[in-house]
Amino acid sequence: MMRKFAYHVLPDPDGRGWIVAVEGYVAHSLPYGTKEEAIEVAEGLVRRYPGSTIVVDEQPPRLTPIELEHRLAA
């Protein structure tokens, strides 16, 4: 059975571009220069794991990087 993930594309909390984070996991990607680059990466992951979804968060989170990691890991 293939795993399904929810990939979040969101502004890097440190202000260095856009990141791709997987819901339920603490780690996230290195920052990409543009939102479009991050979405392309997330689309590639969705093709690799059919049934997965992409969530684009337009606003930077009001959380610290540690709080963000804990929220995505929950």
How far apart CA 71 and CA 18 sit, in angstroms, is 17
In a domain, 58, yes or no: yes
In a domain, 21, yes or no: yes
How far apart CA 35 and CA 19 sit, in angstroms, is 8
In a domain, 1, yes or no: no
Q: Are 45 and 28 in contact (CB under 8 A)?
A: no
Considering its fold, how many domains does the chain have in total?
1
Helix (H) or strand (E) holding 54: strand 53-56
pTM of the complete model: 0.76
> Strand pairing partners for 9?
20, 56
Per residue in 8-43, pLDDT (tens digit) is: 999 987 788 999 999 888 777 889 999 999 999 999
* pLDDT for position 60: 61
Q: How far is CA 5 from CA 28, 33, 64, 65, 74, in A?
A: 13, 23, 23, 21, 14
Which domain range does residue 55 map to? Answer: 6-73
In a domain, 23, yes or no: yes
